[in-house]
C-alpha cells in the first residue's frame, strides 16, 4: 500500500511558519526587513495588543506591481535571489522568499502596495490563513502597507504559547530597535495601542542611539573607529561606569544586519577587563563592514549568528580598537599612569623586585573627586596591592594582611621606631559616609554606603537562593499609585516578589502593599518600590536571575542609607564583614567602594 502523500502548499507553509514565525515579534522583524530591502526612507509600525490583534507596517519603498503582489505570498517567491552565486553577494536582509508565505498561512493579512510607475491606483490583496480572499485595485500611497491580524488564529497551540503582553511587546520592541539601530538613514515610528513608543528621524549613529536609549546615554558613548583591509569597524562602547548588571545594550551589526557573536563579545569583555566589576556588562554598538563574500549568513532563517571567514583577525582588531578608544578617552590610563590602590606593602615583601601592577583604574570613577585623584607610577610586587584593585577578585586573606600590617605598625609605634610617619591616635575617622583609616602608603577611604550595599547585596543574594527573605507585615496596607501596566508587571512576578518579602493585593484597581522586606524602613520604602516598579515594567525583561539581581539591588539601594557606625568595635566588624565579601572592591552598582589617597597625592595638595 502506498502511504506517502505530498503535503499541500498550505500545510507546508504552516510548517515553515513554525520555524520562521515564533511570535508576533518575528512578524515585525520580517516585515521591517522587507520594508528596508524595498528602499524605504520612512517606516511606521503600529501594534495592537502586543501584536496579537494587529501588526501594521507602512513603508514608502518601491512597492510591488500587481503581478508581484499576487505572487509574493507564494513560498519561495523572492526578488532578491536569482541563482546560487547571488547567495554569496547578498546585500538584502531577505532572500528565501518564505516570510510572507509563512505569515499569510497563520494570520489574516491585508496588503496594499503601489509602485512609483503606478500613478493612480495600487493593488489590494487579502489572505486568510494562506487562502487569497481578495485581489483588486485600490487607492493607496506609494510604497507598501501590510497588516497582519489575529496571528496564529488557526494554530491555537501556538497562540497559547504566547507570553504576557508585556513580554511579547518587549520582544517586538527589541526586534524594532535592532533594525532601527542598523539603519540610521531611515526614519521609524513605533506605536503600541495608539501610544507612541519611538519616533526617530534619519540622522547619525550617536543621535540614533540617544533617540532610542535616552539623551543621557550620549555622554556615556566612547567612539571606536578602525579601518583595515579585512574589516572596517565603527560605533561606540559605553564608558565603564555605565556598565550594567544585565546584558541589555549589546549590539553587533555586520553590513547593517544585527547579529550575535559570543567570540566577538568576548573580545569586548576582554577590553573592559579590570575596568568594570565582575558580572557587569559594558554596552556596545559596534558596526562591522566586510566583504559579503567573507561572511555566511545563510545558516538558519531566524538565527542571528553569522560565520566570519577571518574571525580570529577580526577578534584582535576589535579588541585593540576598543582598548585604544578607552585609552584615548582617558578611561583606561596607560601603563605609566597607574593609580595606586593598595593598602600597604608588608615589610617582609619590601626586598622583592617590584613588578608592574595590572591594575587599570578609571580616574573618572573616583567618588572622592575633590581630592582630584592624580596618577602615580608606583609599582609593587605585593599581592594585596595587585589584587586589591578594581574588577579583580581578591581573597579575604588580604584583609588579614591588612591587620598584619596594622600589627606591625602598632609595634613600630610602641617601639617608636618610626614615630611620626605612622603615628595615629585613633585608627579610624568617620566623616559622614566616609570612613578614613591611616595606612602606610597614605589614607584609605571607604565609602560606607557602598560598602553596606555590597554586604547587604551578598547576604540577600545568598539567602534568597535557599529561602524567602524576612518580611515585615505593615500595620496598615500601603496604597500606591501604580498604573495598570505597572500593576500587571507586579502580578507577573508575584512569586519572586513574595520570595523577596513583598506581598500585595490589588482591589478595585488599587494597589496595596501588605508587607515589605524586613531590612527596609517603611518610611524609606518609596524609592525602593519605584526602583522595583521600574525594573519590572522595563521592556527589556531580564530572566529570573537578573530580575532577582535588579530587585535586590533596588532593596539594597534604599536600605544602605541607614548605615550608622558608633564604636571602633562596630567599625572593625563592619570592615571585617566587607572584606569577607568576594567582590569587596565594588558596590553592586559597579562603583568603587574604597580608594587610597597616597602620600604623593597628599603632597601635591600642599
Ligand atoms: P524575501 O524577503 O526573502 O525575498 P518575503 O517573503 O519576505 O521574501 O518577500 C517576498 C517578496 O515580496 C520580496 O522578495 C519582495 O520582492 C516582495 N516584498 C515583500 N515586502 C515588500 C515591501 N514592503 N515592499 C516591496 N516589496 C516587498
Ligand atoms: Mg523578507
- Taking alpha carbons only, the member of 246, 279, 286 closest to residue 265 is 286
Q: Is the CB of 95 under 6 A from ligand 1?
A: yes
Query: What local confidence, expressed as pLDDT, does residue 425 receive?
Result: 56
| Pairing between β-strand 510-517 and β-strand 428-431 as defined by DSSP bridges | unpaired
Banded model confidence at residue 378, pLDDT cuts 50, 70, 90: very low
Residue 55 has pLDDT above 90, yes or no: yes
**Ligand 1 center to 34 CA (angstroms):** 5
Q: Give the lowest-confidence range in 83-92, 329-338, 436-445.
A: 329-338
Q: Is the CB of 73 under 6 A from ligand 1?
A: no
Query: What local confidence, expressed as pLDDT, does residue 437 receive?
Result: 83
CB of 403 within 8 A of CB of 573?
no
Rounded mean pLDDT of 423-437? 77
Atom of ligand 1 nearest to the CA of 99: 6
**Ligand 2 center to 230 CA (angstroms):** 29
CB of 520 within 8 A of CB of 559?
yes
Model pTM greater than 0.95?
A: no
Banded model confidence at residue 210, pLDDT cuts 50, 70, 90: very high
Residue 380 has pLDDT above 50, yes or no: no
Query: What local confidence, expressed as pLDDT, does residue 297 receive?
Result: 67
Residue 348 has pLDDT above 60, yes or no: no
**Ligand 1 center to 28 CA (angstroms):** 13
Q: Which residue out of 72, 82, 107 has the highest number of ligand 1 atoms within 8 Å of its CB and is therefore the one to mutate? A: 72
Query: What local confidence, expressed as pLDDT, does residue 342 receive?
Result: 31
Residue 21 has pLDDT above 80, yes or no: yes
Pick the residue whose CA is nearest to atom 25 on ligand 1.
Answer: 63
- Taking alpha carbons only, the member of 161, 204, 210, 211 closest to residue 190 is 211
Residue 38 has pLDDT above 70, yes or no: yes
**Ligand 2 center to 161 CA (angstroms):** 24
Mean pLDDT of the chain: 78
**Ligand 1 center to 81 CA (angstroms):** 11
Query: What local confidence, expressed as pLDDT, does residue 207 receive?
Result: 94
Q: Is the CB of 38 under 6 A from ligand 1?
A: yes
Residue 160 has pLDDT above 80, yes or no: yes
Atom of ligand 1 nearest to the CA of 63: 25
Reduced to 3 states, what is the DSSP secondary structure of residue 219? helix
Query: What local confidence, expressed as pLDDT, does residue 417 receive?
Result: 26
CA 137 to chain centre: 46
**Ligand 2 center to 8 CA (angstroms):** 22
Pick the residue whose CA is nearest to atom 12 on ligand 1.
Answer: 72
Banded model confidence at residue 340, pLDDT cuts 50, 70, 90: very low
Residue 191 has pLDDT above 70, yes or no: yes
Q: Which residue out of 43, 60, 68, 100 has the highest number of ligand 1 atoms within 8 Å of its CB and is therefore the one to mutate? A: 100
Listed ranges 211-215, 342-346, 380-384; the one with the highest mean pLDDT: 211-215
**Ligand 1 center to 212 CA (angstroms):** 27
Pick the residue whose CA is nearest to atom 8 on ligand 1.
Answer: 97
Reduced to 3 states, what is the DSSP secondary structure of residue 44? strand
Banded model confidence at residue 384, pLDDT cuts 50, 70, 90: very low
Amino acid at each position: 500500500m502506498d502511504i506517502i502523500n505530498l503535503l499541500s502548499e498550505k500545510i507546508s507553509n504552516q510548517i515553515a511558519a513554525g520555524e520562521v514565525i515564533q511570535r508576533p515579534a518575528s512578524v515585525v522583524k520580517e516585515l521591517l526587513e522587507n520594508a528596508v530591502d524595498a528602499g524605504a526612507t520612512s517606516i511606521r509600525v503600529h501594534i495592537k495588543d502586543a501584536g496579537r490583534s494587529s501588526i501594521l507596517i507602512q513603508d514608502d519603498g518601491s512597492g510591488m506591481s500587481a503581478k508581484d503582489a499576487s505572487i509574493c505570498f507564494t513560498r519561495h517567491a523572492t526578488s532578491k535571489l536569482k541563482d546560487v552565486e547571488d547567495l554569496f553577494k547578498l546585500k538584502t536582509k531577505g532572500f528565501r522568499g518564505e516570510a510572507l508565505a509563512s505569515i499569510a498561512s497563520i494570520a489574516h493579512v491585508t496588503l496594499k502596495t503601489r509602485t512609483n510607475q503606478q500613478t493612480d491606483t495600487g493593488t489590494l490583496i487579502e489572505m486568510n490563513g494562506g487562502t487569497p480572499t481578495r485581489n483588486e485595485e485600490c487607492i493607496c500611497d506609494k510604497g507598501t502597507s501590510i497588516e497582519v491580524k489575529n496571528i496564529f488564529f488557526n494554530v491555537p497551540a501556538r497562540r497559547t504559547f504566547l507570553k504576557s503582553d508585556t513580554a511579547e511587546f518587549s520582544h517586538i520592541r527589541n526586534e524594532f530597535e535592532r533594525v532601527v539601530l542598523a539603519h540610521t538613514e531611515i526614519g521609524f515610528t513605533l506605536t503600541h495601542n495608539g501610544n507612541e513608543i519611538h519616533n526617530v528621524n534619519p540622522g547619525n549613529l550617536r543621535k540614533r542611539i540617544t533617540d532610542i536609549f535616552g539623551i543621557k546615554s550620549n555622554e556615556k558613548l566612547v567612539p571606536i573607529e578602525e579601518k583595515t583591509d579585512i574589516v572596517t569597524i565603527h560605533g561606540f562602547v559605553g564608558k565603564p561606569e555605565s556598565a550594567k548588571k544585565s546584558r541589555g545594550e549589546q549590539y553587533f551589526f555586520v553590513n547593517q544586519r544585527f547579529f550575535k557573536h559570543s567570540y566577538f563579545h568576548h573580545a569586548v569583555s576582554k577590553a573592559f577587563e579590570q575596568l568594570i566589576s565582575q558580572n557587569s556588562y559594558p554596552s556596545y554598538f559596534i558596526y562591522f563592514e566586510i566583504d559579503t563574500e567573507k561572511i555566511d549568513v545563510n545558516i538558519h532563517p531566524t538565527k542571528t549568528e553569522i560565520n566570519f571567514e577571518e574571525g580570529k583577525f577580526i577578534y584582535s582588531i576589535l579588541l585593540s580598537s576598543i582598548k585604544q578608544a578607552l585609552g584615548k578617552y582617558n578611561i583606561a590610563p596607560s601603563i605609566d599612569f597607574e593609580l595606586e590602590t593598595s593598602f600597604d606593602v608588608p615589610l617582609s615583601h619590601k626586598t622583592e623586585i617590584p613588578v608592574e601592577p595590572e591594575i587599570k583604574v578609571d580616574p573618572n570613577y573616583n567618588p572622592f573627586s575633590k581630592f582630584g585623584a592624580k596618577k602615580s607610577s608606583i609599582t609593587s610586587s605585593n599581592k594585596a596591592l595587585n589584587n586589591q584593585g578594581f574588577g579583580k577578585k581578591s581573597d579575604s586573606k588580604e584583609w588579614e594582611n591588612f591587620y598584619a600590617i596594622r600589627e606591625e605598625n602598632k609595634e613600630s609605634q610602641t617601639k617608636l621606631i618610626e614615630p611620626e610617619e605612622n603615628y595615629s591616635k585613633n585608627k579610624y575617622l568617620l566623616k559622614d559616609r566616609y570612613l578614613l583609616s591611616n595606612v602606610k602608603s597614605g589614607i584609605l577611604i571607604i565609602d560606607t554606603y557602598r560598602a553596606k550595599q555590597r554586604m547587604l547585596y551578598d547576604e540577600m543574594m545568598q539567602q534568597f537562593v535557599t529561602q524567602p527573605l524576612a518580611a515585615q507585615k505593615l500595620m496598615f496596607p500601603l496604597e500606591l499609585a501604580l498604573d495598570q501596566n505597572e500593576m500587571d508587571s507586579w502580578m507577573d512576578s508575584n512569586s519572586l516578589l513574595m520570595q523577596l518579602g513583598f506581598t500585595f493585593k490589588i482591589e478595585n484597581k488599587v494597589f496595596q502593599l501588605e508587607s515589605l522586606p524586613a531590612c527596609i524602613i517603611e518610611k524609606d520604602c518609596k524609592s525602593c518600590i519605584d526602583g522595583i516598579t521600574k525594573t519590572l515594567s522595563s521592556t527589556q525583561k531580564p530572566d529570573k536571575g537578573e530580575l532577582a539581581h535588579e530587585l535586590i539591588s533596588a532593596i539594597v539601594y534604599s536600605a544602605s542609607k541607614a548605615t550608622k557606625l558608633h564604636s571602633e568595635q562596630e567599625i572593625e566588624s563592619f570592615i571585617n564583614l566587607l572584606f569577607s565579601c568576594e567582590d569587596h572592591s565594588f558596590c553592586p552598582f559597579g562603583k568603587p567602594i574604597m580608594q587610597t589617597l597616597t602620600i604623593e597625592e597628599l603632597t601635591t595638595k600642599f
